[in-house]
């Protein structure tokens, strides 16, 4: 994921950035609201992590501007040391998608980020009947897959795995991402089940065809990617 982190506390920002980058994400930082607002307006991000209490423009004001003036749909996760119900409600009313109280554990932050990204991906693809990549077509209504016009039989789990990869085309997804989206678990199962199912899928959609579709990014995960 490409993530924008707007946080004025450099120790907290460093902790978050380091953890997210270790998970294979790209993180851009801003240490105050004005710069964060400019970055969010000029570039596309999958998630914006936004501290509420900052000098100058507050996180609430940044969120309000992005969601209600600039109409940016990027999910926003507020980080707040303000714990009252009114504070939380104010943040959500400006358009924030979720909030997390400080102090927090990195594992909890990561879970919130993945949940927001899953919801955004589902919403973005609502109403699409089919997903197409090169000569591969997946029909989400009939639950069928074809390549070069040849119908391919997939199990339910293989279908969900391919659907997830196609919906996240050009984005490297980690094994953790896949576990949460396809197996709906948020912990390491301690097995190579992801790699096994990727191999199952490759045999069915690549063997005997002219090109490979699923790429392995060593140490990071898998991606279906348009050729440059």
Is residue 198 within 8 Å of residue 162, measured between CB atoms? Answer: no
3-state secondary structure of 44: coil
Residue 140 above 50 pLDDT?
Answer: yes
Residue 17 above 80 pLDDT?
Answer: yes
Nearest-angstrom CA–CA distance, 159 and 178: 13
pLDDT of residue 89: 73
Structural element, H or E, at residue 47: strand 47-51
pLDDT of residue 227: 66
Domain boundaries, the chain: 2-123, 127-224
Is residue 181 within 8 Å of residue 122, measured between CB atoms? Answer: no
- C-alpha dist (Å) from residue 27 to 24, 33, 41, 105, 128: 10, 16, 16, 18, 30
pLDDT of residue 6: 96
The length of the chain is 228
Residues in Cβ contact with 62 at an 8 Å cutoff, skipping those fewer than 6 apart? 6, 33, 36, 37, 40, 50
**135 HSE (CA, 13 A, CB side):** 12
pLDDT of residue 4: 96
Q: Which two tokens stand for residue 132?
A: 């197409």
Nearest-angstrom CA–CA distance, 77 and 100: 7
Give the tens place of pLDDT for each residue, 165-222.
Answer: 999 998 999 988 898 888 877 656 566 889 999 999 999 999 999 889 999 999 899 9
Give the tens place of pLDDT for each residue, 72-116.
Answer: 888 999 998 875 566 677 777 788 888 888 888 999 999 889 888
pLDDT of residue 154: 92
CATH of domain 127-224: 1.10.10.10
* CATH topology assigned to domain 2-123: Rossmann fold (3.40.50)
Give the tens place of pLDDT for each residue, 51-61.
Answer: 988 888 989 89
Which residues share a beta bridge with 144?
139
Q: Which two tokens stand for residue 92?
A: 């959500």
pLDDT of residue 103: 86
Name the nearest CA neighbour of 39 among 11, 70, 68: 70
Domain 2-123 matches domain 127-224 at the CATH topology level: no
């Amino acid at each position: 994921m490409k993530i924008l982190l707007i946080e004025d506390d450099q120790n907290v920002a460093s902790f978050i950035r380091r953890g997210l980058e270790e998970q294979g994400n790209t993180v851009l930082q801003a240490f105050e609201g004005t710069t964060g607002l400019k970055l969010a307006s000029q570039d596309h991000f999958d998630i914006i992590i936004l501290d509420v209490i900052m000098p100058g423009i507050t996180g609430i004001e940044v969120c309000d501007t992005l969601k209600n003036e600039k109409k940016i749909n990027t999910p926003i996760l507020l980080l707040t040391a303000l714990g009252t119900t009114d504070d939380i409600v104010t943040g959500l009313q400006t358009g924030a998608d979720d909030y997390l109280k400080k102090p927090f554990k990195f594992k909890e932050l990561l879970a919130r980020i993945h949940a927001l990204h899953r919801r955004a991906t589902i919403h973005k693809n609502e109403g699409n009947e089919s997903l197409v990549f090169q000569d591969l077509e997946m029909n989400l209504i009939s639950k069928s897959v074809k390549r070069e016009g040849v119908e391919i039989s997939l199990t339910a789990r293989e279908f969900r795995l391919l659907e997830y990869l196609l919906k996240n085309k050009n984005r490297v997804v980690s094994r953790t991402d896949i576990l949460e989206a396809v197996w709906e678990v948020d912990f390491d199962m301690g097995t190579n089940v992801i790699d096994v199912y990727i191999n199952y899928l490759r045999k069915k959609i690549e063997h005997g065809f002219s090109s490979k579709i699923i790429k392995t990014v060593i140490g990071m995960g898998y991606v279906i990617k348009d050729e440059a």
